[in-house]
Each structure stands twice: as structure tokens, then as C-alpha cells.
Structure 1
Amino acid sequence: MFLRGLRRRTGRPVPELVALFRSIIDGGRDYHPIASDFLEHFMDGAGGSRTMSPRWLRSFKVIKKAERKNQRRFERQLARRARLLGDGESSWLHDYWDARINAFIGTELFYVSRMSLLRSQGSFVLTREGPEVRVSGTVRHRWFDPYDWDRGRWVYIPRHGFVPIAVGRDLVAADQARNFLMESRHVQTLEGRCVDGRWPRRGRESFGWSLVRTADG
């Protein structure tokens, strides 16, 4: 979640640390309800993974930026593959791209996940008819991050000031909390076309992405 630091323990009594995190949970419900919910899950000690709402997650620009980064990578791959196809030929492309995400300080995403990863796995089919190549496919996005309070030294919590990251480590060591995996999935489809250009002009590519709607996203 946070940048790796040096200090590993607080040296404070465990009941005091429990009370601190419980007060952060109660005090944050009106301002950062999702972050409070995930911190409470950490404190409950179940350790089971939690699924993030795609709609909530994609409301942050940094997530959309990572998504678009991987989309462009696929688009460049597809354009290169299209130029290699002969008339009447078809081809499949299967690949994946990873985009690292750093949440902006002060956003609720920052208090849930400082650093995370978006993995985008794509499957596409390309078919050439004369100078035009039709492209279609599906990309399955998976966002994930371990909620572990294991990296960094401090984090600023509104109304609580700078809280040592070591508080979380101490609570895990005392069996008062448990790390868990956060993840979220969503699917997009792609329709596109690549048209050859007459030398010395470059060809033209156009791609359209659509989100596959689900009940929570």
C-alpha cells in the first residue's frame, strides 16, 4: 500500500493501537466510507479477499488513465499485426499488459490503496478484406492490491494527523488484524478498423471501446 520505510514497530501497547484504528474507522465513515469499511475488514481479522465496485474504482482519474494506457498498447499491437495480414487472411492476438497505479494523496483511493496494479488481458481477431482490416475483441481488466500496511513510515489521516504505518504491522503481529487481497474486475469490448494508406501516406486506424455493464459497475 505505501512506500517502503525503515521503522518496523511502534513499541506502544496493543490496546492503544486497537483504539486508535477503531477511532479512525468511526471518524472516517462520513468522509471516506469505503476506506473505513476496508480498514474495519482489516481489523476484523477474517483475512478474506474483498471485491471493489468497478464503478467506484473507475471514478478515479488515475484508474481511467491506467486503463487507457493499456488500451493504447493493444491498439498499437493490433495496428502492427494488421499490416502483416494478406488479403483474405485472419489472425488472433492474445496478450496482456500491466499498468502501475499511484493514487493521488488526499483522495479516498489513496487511503484504500496507495500503489496498485491493473492487469488487462486481451483476445482479438483480425480479418483483412482488401485494404481494410476489421478488428474485434475483448479485454478483461483486473485491478488488485494487497491490503497489508507493510510499506512506508507514516500516513496522514484527517483528524488524526500522521499515523505510523507500523501500527498496522503491530496489530497483525498481535493477531488483532489480518492482511487481505483487494481486487476488482471489469470487461470491455473493442471494435476497430485499420485501412492501408497509399505510399508515402500512413494508414488510418480507428478503435472504439465499450464497457460491458454489470450490476455493480
Structure 2
Amino acid sequence: MFVTLALTLDKARMFVRGLRRRTGRPVPELVDLFRSIIDGGRDFHPIASDFLQHFMDGAGASRTMSLRWLRSFKVIKKAERKNQRRFERQLLRRAGRLGEHDSAWLHDHWDARINAFIGTELFYVSRMSLLRSQGSFVLTRDGREVRVSGTVRHRWFDPYDWDRGRWVYIPRHGFVPIAVGRDLVEADEARNFLMEARHVQTLEGVCVPGRWRGRATFTWALVRTGDR
């Protein structure tokens, strides 16, 4: 009973420390806490544990995320589709302004913000991130139809740091103050670093401009470069 009470009080103190910019705890104690989170999470959140270890030992070197792992999360696919639709609407509007046998280029980029769902492994790696999609397309009109082709280069990125929010709930450890990470960086026991991933998609489509909205058919394909 006394052991349980002590653990409960300790977790409560950690929760309160989340309200502060600094924990006020000895640095070796904070190092041990993060090392225990790394070891304890390898069985159920191996990627998150790997990136936390890189935060501690990677000297700030950037990391390239596994594209297969990253795109396995619905929020990533949703952000990707959001930017695709933006390009599709642009292309349909541009197609409506083309004259017979005219051609045109369209270059643009769109950003989609991503908020990972609490409890997913992505949440423990990157709570908030950005997908930047840069597109380049050519449109050619022949009769009523406008043929479209092009490529979109996607770049997902996020700085890995412990500087946003107040605390994060970690299984088996309770509420861990974000200030722990800040203290470790300040003590030179950890380094923030950049996470990123890149992939390319091609687009083929046909637009039939109309007086009001027109219609279009688009096909997107991922350029395979191996599992990254």
C-alpha cells in the first residue's frame, strides 16, 4: 500500500511539474527517466523508442523516416489527399481557360498541417507536423478535352523536440512533463533534430471544362523507390 501511494504521489508531482518551464529535478534522474521510457517502449512502440534514443544519443543529426511506416497512418494519407484535391481543383480551373490546341504549365505548392491522434505511435514521434507538396503539371487542350500530366514531390517534416505543450501521457510512466526534454537539451544530454520523409507521385488526367464546374478524371500513382 505504501509503495502504491508513493508511486501515485510521484506521478502527481510529475503532472504538476508539467505546468512549469523547468522540472527542478537533478539531470541524472531525468536521464534515467528517459532511458527507462526507451527500454520500456521497445515492445509496443519501437519507432518512438528509437527516435527518443536518437534524441538522447544522436548529437542532433537529422533522421529520414520510413515512408512505409509514415504512410500507414490515416492522418498522413488524409493530408496527402487534401493537397491532391487542391491541385485537382487548380488544374480544372486552369483547363477552363485554355483555348483550342493551347498548352500551359502549372507550378504551385500546398501545405497540409498534421495532428497525430493521441495514443498512436505517430503521436509519440510527431504530434504536429507538416506535409509540403510541390507540383509541376502540363495541360494540353484538344477539342473539348484537356489532358493533364505531371508530378508532385511531397516532403513531410517536423523538428523532434520537447518544446510544445506541457506534458505527455506515456504508458507505464504516467504524465511526463515536456520540461524534462527541455532540461536535458539545456544540460547537453540531448539534442533536437529534424525528421523528414520524401516521396513522389505522378498524375495523369483528363479535364472537360464546363460553363460552371466541368468534370475531370485524375489518376495518382506513387513512384516506387524501395522501402525507406
For normalisation by structure 2, the TM-score amounts to 0.90
2:201 pairs with one of 188, 191, 213: 188
Counterpart of 2:122 in structure 1 is 109
On the 8 A contact 1:45/1:176 being kept in 2, the answer is: no
Q: Are 1:155 and 2:168 counterparts?
A: yes
Alignment size in residue pairs = 211
On the 8 A contact 1:6/1:152 being kept in 2, the answer is: no
Q: Are 1:50 and 2:63 counterparts?
A: yes
Q: Are 1:213 and 2:224 counterparts?
A: yes
Q: CA deviation at 1:152?
A: 1.0
1:33 pairs with one of 27, 46, 55: 46
Counterpart of 2:101 in structure 1 is 88
| Residues 5-48 of structure 1: per-residue CA shift (max 9 Å, x gap) | 86210000000000000000000000000000000000004101
1:2-81 matches, within 5 Å, as 7-81=20-94
Whole-angstrom CA distance in 2 between matches of 1:118 and 1:196: 30
Q: Are 1:119 and 2:132 counterparts?
A: yes
1:96 maps to a residue whose letter is H
2:227 maps to a residue whose letter is D
Whole-angstrom CA distance in 2 between matches of 1:68 and 1:202: 20
Q: CA deviation at 1:204?
A: 1.7
Counterpart of 2:156 in structure 1 is 143
SS in 2 for 1:167: helix
2:219 maps to a residue whose letter is G
| Residues 66-112 of structure 1: per-residue CA shift (max 9 Å, x gap) | 00000000000000000000011100000000000000000000000
1:52 maps to a residue whose letter is M
SS in 1 for 2:35: helix
RMSD: 1.2
On the 8 A contact 1:67/1:118 being kept in 2, the answer is: yes
On the 8 A contact 2:95/2:209 being kept in 1, the answer is: no
On the 8 A contact 1:49/1:182 being kept in 2, the answer is: yes
Q: Give unmatched runs, 5+ long, in structure 1.
A: none
On the 8 A contact 1:127/1:133 being kept in 2, the answer is: yes
Identity of aligned residues (%): 87
Q: Give unmatched runs, 5+ long, in structure 2.
A: 1-17
Counterpart of 1:129 in structure 2 is 142
Q: CA deviation at 1:114?
A: 0.4
SS in 1 for 2:39: helix
> Do the aligned partners of residues 93 and 6 (structure 1) sit closer, same or farther apart at CA in structure 2, a change above 3 Å counting?
farther
1:44 maps to a residue whose letter is D
* Bigger helix share: 2
Q: CA deviation at 1:202?
A: 4.7
1:35 maps to a residue whose letter is A
**Which protein has the larger Cα radius of gyration, Structure 1 or Structure 2?**
2
2:214 pairs with one of 180, 196, 203: 203
On the 8 A contact 2:55/2:192 being kept in 1, the answer is: yes
1:212 maps to a residue whose letter is V
Whole-angstrom CA distance in 1 between matches of 2:195 and 2:82: 22
